[in-house]
Structure 1
Amino acid sequence: MLGLKHGINYLVDFQPGWKLEFEAERDRIQAALGPLARGVEHYGSTAVEGMRAKPIIDILVGVSPLALWEECAEPLGGLGYDYAAHAGVPGHYIFGRGRDSSERTHLLHVVEFEGPSWTSNLQLRDALRRDERLRKSYIAAKEAAIAAAPVGRAQYNELKRGFIDQAKAAIASRD
């Protein structure tokens, strides 16, 4: 299962096909962006085996310097991505792709390659892959956020933000 109607929130069990979906999309993105994309990574819950997740593939694209993000807009548009100008994540330029205008299948975040967002998001992904206890805690935080905000992605994201920030801080302090 892949795709979520705009504004609706729910979680599904991990799908092994998400990895293959990412790999195919990564190849399309790399071909379209060429050397602009210094790195393309699968992150977020669909990148962590065993995680319940919203059925949207989250993709991190690293560019350097970050000002080059604007050069990504046209090639990504050619792949069916639209720019979400008001997504509200500092240091992230976010593009969405869906089967139609109401159902998102992919969210792509352009960030500074090897900058703070790049590093902290990949560290969190890797920690979730390794640590079952952390994974279970995050699933509980996500389920609580869904229960409180079944509609509205901004509210859902804000409700789980505390867990994410705390986990990233703990991971950074270990390194």
Structure 2
Amino acid sequence: MSSESGESFGLGVRHKLVTLAEPNARWREAYALEETAIRKALGDLALDIQHFGSTSIPAIKAKPIIDIAVGVRRFDEGFCCIKSMEEIGYEYAGNDIVPDDHIFGRGIKGETRTHLVHIVEYGGAHWNRFILFRDRLRANPALAQAYEALKIGLADEYADNRAAYTEAKKVFIDKIVAATGD
């Protein structure tokens, strides 16, 4: 990222905790800086890079962590990205947490997280899910508000268990991704 810290963009959540923040116009700028750095680091390996997750949805509260999808030709190419991503400050969390998803984090190791990068197969199931969900919420403010309301309730319930919070959102996300006729 640039010389600015994640904190200057209103980013950062302590490890395993759930904290929601008011929407911040600077999140788009934080993403743009990361996209530039990742494109430079990965070159032609990155077919596309997209900002997704709640920080990419205008006007809703979000965990202040920038989620970034990097599409590669084949899932195994994600292994070729590890060294380059580490050189720009990302820690490789592995591909066993979520099958077919190479996860990289940035922040203060073991303490806070400001960015998560998911390197997945471009046009594959994860890629399509990330982009479709984001685009449907961006296109439908009422749907985005319903998602925000769900997140607020879940953040209260699972404030100290990010994994449970994420799992509890899955039914809503599945329903939106499976919907047709938008």
TM-score (norm 1): 0.94
1:21 to 30, 36, 40: 30
Q: Confirm or deny: 8 A CA contact 2:136 2:176 kept in the other structure.
A: no
Aligned residues: 173
Q: How does 1:118-133 map to 2 (within 5 A)?
A: 118-133=127-142
**Distance change >3 Å, CA 128–CA 87, structure 1 → 2:** farther
Q: CA deviation at 1:40?
A: 0.6
2:55 to 37, 46, 52: 46
Which SS does the other structure have where 1:174 is aligned?
coil
Which SS does the other structure have where 1:145 is aligned?
helix
Task: Please tell me whether residue 174 in structure 1 is matched to residue 169 in structure 2.
Answer: no
Which SS does the other structure have where 2:94 is aligned?
coil
Report what 1:64 is aligned to.
73
Q: CA deviation at 1:86?
A: 6.7
Q: CA deviation at 1:152?
A: 1.7
Indicate the percent of aligned positions where both proteins have the same amino acid: 38
Q: Distance in 2 between matches of 1:21 and 1:55?
A: 11
Report what 1:104 is aligned to.
113
1:153 to 151, 162, 165: 162
Q: CA deviation at 1:153?
A: 1.3
Q: Distance in 2 between matches of 1:147 and 1:116?
A: 30
Q: Confirm or deny: 8 A CA contact 1:129 1:135 kept in the other structure.
A: yes
Q: Distance in 2 between matches of 1:105 and 1:113?
A: 24
* RMSD between aligned residues: 1.4
Q: Distance in 2 between matches of 1:54 and 1:16?
A: 14
Which SS does the other structure have where 1:94 is aligned?
strand
Q: Distance in 2 between matches of 1:87 and 1:41?
A: 22
Gaps of 5+ in 1: none
Q: Confirm or deny: 8 A CA contact 1:87 1:94 kept in the other structure.
A: no
| Greater mean deviation of Cα atoms: 5-14 or 22-31 | 5-14
Q: Distance in 1 between matches of 2:147 and 2:121?
A: 26
Q: CA deviation at 1:85?
A: 2.4
Which SS does the other structure have where 1:84 is aligned?
strand
Which SS does the other structure have where 1:12 is aligned?
coil
Gaps of 5+ in 2: 1-9
Q: Distance in 1 between matches of 2:29 and 2:123?
A: 24
Report what 2:101 is aligned to.
92
Q: Distance in 2 between matches of 1:7 and 1:129?
A: 27
Matched AA of 1:85: G
Q: Confirm or deny: 8 A CA contact 1:39 1:63 kept in the other structure.
A: yes
Matched AA of 2:84: P
Matched AA of 1:130: A
Q: Distance in 2 between matches of 1:125 and 1:89?
A: 19
